[in-house]
């Protein structure tokens, strides 16, 4: 992402001038955001979105209002601009980058974490808020009666269009993909998917909504069909290429000469932008009684400016709501905040882990809860992470009447597990206090069932410091972390990619007419050879 931005700066019109900043290139690059929002929509569903309505309306509206008012007041009073300029800049700065944040959340599998849900709720509200902003700015430039009427009409129009899209999509999208699948043509499926994405985006654009919002709705509707994973795989190359082009065009907008000539003013503007937006979200999450670690992540994820904010500040300049000098300072500050965003988000994630010791989630009450649920257990198994893999492990343990305690940080997963009568408690497994309370000193085995290799390594090292003999089985997403986890003290490290490949190979033999027993023997031999190879590489 940062490489794309630097390429845009270096080759753009303000540096080597290899690329010209044209409207056609910018519009083409915007399809990157469209395909990104479509792929994000594939991760959601109508039910999940309805469950997030409080986040969208509560967090989103509050964030927009507080940020716009605070920024507007600073612009009006601190920078001696008029109140109209304050409103325009406030609303533009209130937007955050869907392209940067959604991509990072998707890549780190945090879309459905608590901070991820809060962030996506705010971003979705911002996408909806673009429409009234586009109506408000011209009205501010040419004051007249009927502004509230126009905004009301826009809101009704948005609700009608979205309701129509949802109704039509639920009724016909599944049938369309079923027909396409009958032809067994990958090209036809890819082409049809592209047309659906572009068509839905165009339909919302015609109605005055953002194209990205229409693409998100389309992805969300397809997520409820059995073709979700195939569509996601087909769309990913287009999304990544076009999103890269989008970041190049963003980089082309930054004028380094202007930045260097106005460093003090720009530094103050960037500090106010990032610090102010982060403070607003920390305040909102505090009032909502969100844990500090979650609030910190959410604040960092929304602290930068966004692509729609760039559109709004450019519109404000065209309408002469802001002067050229204010436009340059604001635009440069917004772009610099987008450069800083990836570093800030990663740093906040690491800091939230460090602060976890003081978080209520790891306070005395939580530790006591874990201890109570493990107090009567001896010779039990500790399952770190109670997702899909953790549940399957628990099923096998119950078949053999082996006691276990599950640790997870997802309240919904814990509620579901407890409704089935399973011994699962809240707590992050990579915290020493939680592991001690879970009884690792008297456990017969520990399983780390989530695929975060860095967290798993911390768990393994701590357990080995407390219990040298307990077997530790670790799941990893690939084989590149096997040696490191074994060196930390893991007894067995199971790479998902290799294991699934072996199972598929065995199933293929059975399908080809080989007996099940012979196929299982081949599977056992391959596993033994793999384990021997891993041990040799770990010892060397």
Q: How far apart are CA 437 and CA 309, in angstroms?
A: 48
Cross-strand partners of 492: 473
Q: How far apart are CA 354 and CA 296, in angstroms?
A: 12
Q: How far apart are CA 343 and CA 529, in angstroms?
A: 42
Tokens describing residue 452: 């975060």
In the chain, the N- to C-terminal Cα span, in Å, equals 37
Tokens describing residue 324: 């050229």
Residue 286 has a CB neighbour count (10 Å cut-off) of: 11
Tell me, yes or no, if the pTM score tops 0.85. no
Per the CB < 8 A criterion, the answer to whether 403 and 380 are in contact is yes
Q: Which fold has domain 23-358?
A: Na+/H+ antiporter like fold (1.20.1530)
Q: Sketch the domain layout of the chain as residue ranges.
A: 23-358, 360-539
Q: Which residues contact 220 (CB under 8 A, 6 or more apart)?
A: 41, 42, 44, 45, 46, 49
Residue pointed to by tokens 């493990």: 374
Half-sphere exposure (Cβ direction) of 2: Cα atoms closer than 13 Å: 8
Q: How far apart are CA 402 and CA 443, in angstroms?
A: 11
Give me the phi and psi of 97, to 5 degrees please: -85, 105
Q: Which of 239, 242, 254 is nearest to 5 (CA)?
A: 254
Three-state DSSP at 4 gives: helix
Taking only Cα atoms into account, the Rg of the chain, rounded to an integer number of angstroms, comes to 26
- Longest CA–CA span in the chain (Å) reads 82
- The pLDDT value recorded for residue 358 is 46
Q: Which of 131, 283, 317 is nearest to 206 (CA)?
A: 131
Span 360-539 CATH architecture: 3-Layer(aba) Sandwich (3.40)
- CA distances from residue 444 to 83, 375, 404, 412, 441 in whole angstroms, order as listed: 68, 15, 10, 28, 9
Q: Which of 363, 359, 365, 366 is nearest to 295 (CA)?
A: 359
- The pLDDT value recorded for residue 146 is 60
Q: How far apart are CA 269 and CA 343, in angstroms?
A: 18
Q: Which of 287, 337, 288 is nearest to 94 (CA)?
A: 337
- The pLDDT value recorded for residue 540 is 52
Left (φ > 0), alpha (ψ -120 to 50) or beta: where does 439 sit? Answer: left
- The pLDDT value recorded for residue 361 is 44
Residues of the chain under the 70 pLDDT cut: 21-22, 24-25, 43, 45, 48, 108-109, 112, 131, 142-148, 150-151, 154, 353-365, 478, 497-502, 530-540
Per the CB < 8 A criterion, the answer to whether 385 and 459 are in contact is no
Q: How far apart are CA 540 and CA 349, in angstroms?
A: 34
Per the CB < 8 A criterion, the answer to whether 367 and 433 are in contact is yes
What is the separation of C-alpha 46 from the centre of its chain, rounded to a whole number of angstroms? 18
- The pLDDT value recorded for residue 182 is 85
Q: Which residues contact 265 (CB under 8 A, 6 or more apart)?
A: 329
Residue pointed to by tokens 């610090």: 275
Per the CB < 8 A criterion, the answer to whether 122 and 59 are in contact is yes
What is the separation of C-alpha 177 from the centre of its chain, rounded to a whole number of angstroms? 27
Q: How far apart are CA 35 and CA 236, in angstroms?
A: 8
Per 3-state DSSP, the chain is made up of helix, strand and coil in percentages (nearest 5) of 75, 5, 20
Residue pointed to by tokens 């072996």: 502
DSSP letters, 139-152, are HHHS--S-HHHHHH
Per the CB < 8 A criterion, the answer to whether 64 and 241 are in contact is no
Residue pointed to by tokens 């009666």: 145
- The pLDDT value recorded for residue 99 is 82
DSSP letters, 432-449, are HHHHHHTTTTS-SEEEE-
Three-state DSSP at 408 gives: strand
Q: Which of 457, 405, 394, 415 is nearest to 435 (CA)?
A: 405
Q: How far apart are CA 457 and CA 486, in angstroms?
A: 9
- The pLDDT value recorded for residue 154 is 67
Three-state DSSP at 500 gives: helix
Q: Is the dihedral of CA 128, 205, 36, 270 positive or negative?
A: negative
């Amino acid at each position: 992402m940062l490489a794309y931005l630097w390429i845009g700066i270096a080759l753009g019109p303000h540096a080597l001038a290899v690329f010209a900043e044209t409207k056609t290139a910018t519009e083409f690059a915007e399809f990157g955001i469209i395909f990104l929002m479509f792929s994000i929509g594939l991760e959601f569903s109508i039910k999940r979105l309805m469950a997030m309505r409080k986040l969208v309306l509560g967090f989103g509206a509050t964030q927009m209002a507080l940020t716009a008012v605070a920024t507007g007041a600073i612009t009006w009073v601190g920078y001696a601009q008029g109140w109209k300029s304050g409103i325009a800049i406030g609303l533009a700065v209130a937007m955050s980058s869907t392209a940067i944040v959604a991509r990072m959340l998707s890549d780190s599998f945090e879309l459905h974490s608590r901070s991820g849900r809060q962030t996506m709720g705010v971003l979705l509200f911002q996408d909806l808020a673009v429409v009234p902003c586009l109506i408000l700015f011209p009205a501010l430039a040419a004051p007249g009666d009927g502004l509230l009427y126009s905004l009301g009409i826009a809101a009704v129009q948005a609700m009608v269009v979205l309701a129509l899209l949802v109704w039509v999509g639920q009724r016909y999208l599944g049938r369309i993909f079923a027909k396409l699948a009958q032809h067994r043509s990958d090209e036809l499926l890819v082409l049809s998917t592209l047309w659906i994405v572009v068509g839905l985006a165009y339909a919302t654009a015609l109605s005055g909504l953002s194209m990205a919002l229409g693409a998100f709705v389309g992805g969300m509707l397809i997520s409820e069909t059995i073709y979700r994973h195939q569509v996601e795989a087909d769309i990913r190359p287009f999304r990544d290429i076009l999103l890269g082009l989008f970041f190049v065009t963003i980089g082309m907008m930054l004028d380094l000469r202007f930045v260097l000539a106005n460093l003090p003013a720009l530094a103050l503007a960037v500090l106010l932008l990032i610090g102010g937006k982060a403070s607003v979200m920390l305040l909102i999450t505090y009032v909502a009684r969100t844990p500090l670690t979650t609030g910190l992540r959410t604040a960092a994820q929304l602290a930068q400016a966004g692509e729609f904010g760039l559109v709004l500040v450019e519109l404000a300049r065209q309408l002469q709501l802001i002067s050229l000098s204010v436009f340059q300072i604001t635009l440069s500050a917004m772009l610099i905040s987008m450069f800083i965003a990836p570093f800030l988000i990663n740093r906040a994630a690491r800091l939230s882990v460090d602060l976890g010791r003081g978080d209520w989630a790891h306070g005395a009450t939580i530790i006591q809860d874990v201890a109570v649920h493990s107090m009567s257990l001896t010779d039990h198994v500790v399952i770190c992470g109670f997702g899909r893999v953790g549940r399957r492990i628990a099923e096998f343990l119950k078949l053999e009447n082996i006691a276990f305690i599950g640790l997870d940080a997802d309240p919904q997963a814990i509620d579901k597990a407890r409704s089935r009568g399973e011994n699962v408690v809240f707590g992050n497994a990579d915290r020493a206090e939680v592991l001690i309370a879970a009884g690792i000193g008297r456990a017969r085995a520990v399983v780390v069932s989530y695929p975060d290799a860095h967290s798993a390594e911390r768990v393994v090292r701590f357990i080995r410091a407390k219990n040298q003999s307990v077997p530790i089985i670790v799941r990893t997403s690939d084989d590149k972390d096997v040696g490191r986890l074994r060196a930390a003290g893991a007894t067995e490290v199971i790479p998902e990619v290799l294991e699934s490949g072996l199972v598929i190979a065995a199933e293929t033999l059975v399908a080809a007419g080989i007996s099940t027993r012979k196929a299982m023997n081949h599977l056992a031999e391959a596993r033994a050879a793999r384990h021997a190879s891993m041990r040799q590489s770990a010892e060397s």
